[in-house]
Amino acid sequence: MKADLHCHSAYSDGTLPPAEVVSQAVDRGVTLLALTDHDTLAGVSEAAASAEQHALTLINGVEISADWAGKTVHIVGLNIDPANAALQSGLELSQAMRIERMELIITALERQGHCVRDSVNQQLLPGGIVTRTHIARALIDQAVVRDMNRAFKRYLGQGKPAYVNSDWPALATVVQWIKAAGGIAVLAHPMRYRLGTNRLVQLVEEFVAAGGAALEVVTATQDANQVRRCVQLVQQYGLLASTGSDFHSPDQPWARLGSCGPLPASVTPVWEQF
Ligand code: AMP
Ligand code: MN
Ligand code: MN
Ligand code: MN
């Protein structure tokens, strides 16, 4: 069995349609997959239809942006009911906020002499969401920057000229939406928030207090030491463990579908609860 419980389609900031994500996952040996687009469930049914054509089990998923103490954190919801009204109406708030934020980002870039609106609109799927990744790709297409990292470093990252604050729902609210939809809340890529040890413990404690049940222990870009720190937290707080590549696009070789590796034997995999 090979699990990948974190990846994106073109309904958020990935580049492939859901059916293509599923078939590439199959080609790469994945047998348990969750499509976890940012703040949208739009790709879930296409992914499920494609999974029926393959020897792959699909888990309904989503990656929800949340505010924790003024920082953006990501909560993956696994095994959610995509028809749940509380989850859907919560995500609609974030989708509306994304559209307003996008207008402000586009205006800020226009002040810098860059017009990305058409390029962004061309990338969007009907029913999909807009993200800063789309803006970054527009800046790359127009040769304003050379790559994604530079787009965030020079324009889109916090404190940069085209940065606009995001009004994400609170961490506890997001966990409630996931639980209301019958899902398991997973704290995504805990090591990517660049928190000190004490702050990370504080985040995990508040996540657990809110009803969070799992940590993403293995991701494609995590080193052995980071995995070890996550395992310690999982054991200390009696949590489940998840694994996911955070795949966005085949042109990012550091995060391929299924490249997230197995979970250490010392933790309980989140799929035992599915
Ligand atoms: P948003 O949710 O619209 O704020 O966009 C966040 C997305 O941008 C994340 O999901 C990442 O895929 C991407 N991202 C954030 N920071 C970087 C970075 N430094 N380099 C490349 N991609 C990034
Ligand atoms: Mn992303
Ligand atoms: Mn994320
Ligand atoms: Mn992700």
Q: Which pLDDT does position 270 carry in this prediction?
A: 98
Ligand 1 atom with minimal separation from the 130 CA: 3
Question: Sorting pLDDT into bands at 50, 70 and 90, what band is 99?
Answer: very high
**Residue nearest (by alpha carbon) to ligand 1 atom 6:** 132
CB of 168 sitting under 6 A from ligand 1: no
Over residues 10-36, the mean pLDDT reads 98
Q: Is the pLDDT of residue 161 over 90?
A: yes
Sequence-separated (6 or more) residues with CB below 8 Å from residue 186: 5, 75, 76, 77, 78, 212, 213, 214, 215, 216, 240, 242, 270
- The pTM of this model reads 0.98
Q: Give dist(CA 35, CA 178) in Å, integer.
A: 15
For the chain, the average pLDDT equals: 98
Please write the tens of the pLDDT for every residue from 53-83: 999 999 999 999 999 999 999 999 999 999 9
Task: Kindly state the percentage of the chain with pLDDT values over 90.
Answer: 99
Q: Which pLDDT does position 252 carry in this prediction?
A: 95
What DSSP letter does each residue of 27-66 carry, written as one string?
A: HTT-SEEEE--BT--TTHHHHHHHHHTTT-EEEEEEEEEE
DSSP E strand stretches across 69-213: 71-78, 184-187
Please write the tens of the pLDDT for every residue from 252-262: 999 999 999 89
Task: Kindly state the percentage of the chain with pLDDT values over 70.
Answer: 100
Over residues 238-254, the mean pLDDT reads 97
Give phi and psi for 186, each to the nearest 5: -120, 125
CB of 131 sitting under 6 A from ligand 1: yes
Q: Give dist(CA 150, CA 154) in Å, integer.
A: 6
What residue type is 38 in one-letter code?
Answer: H
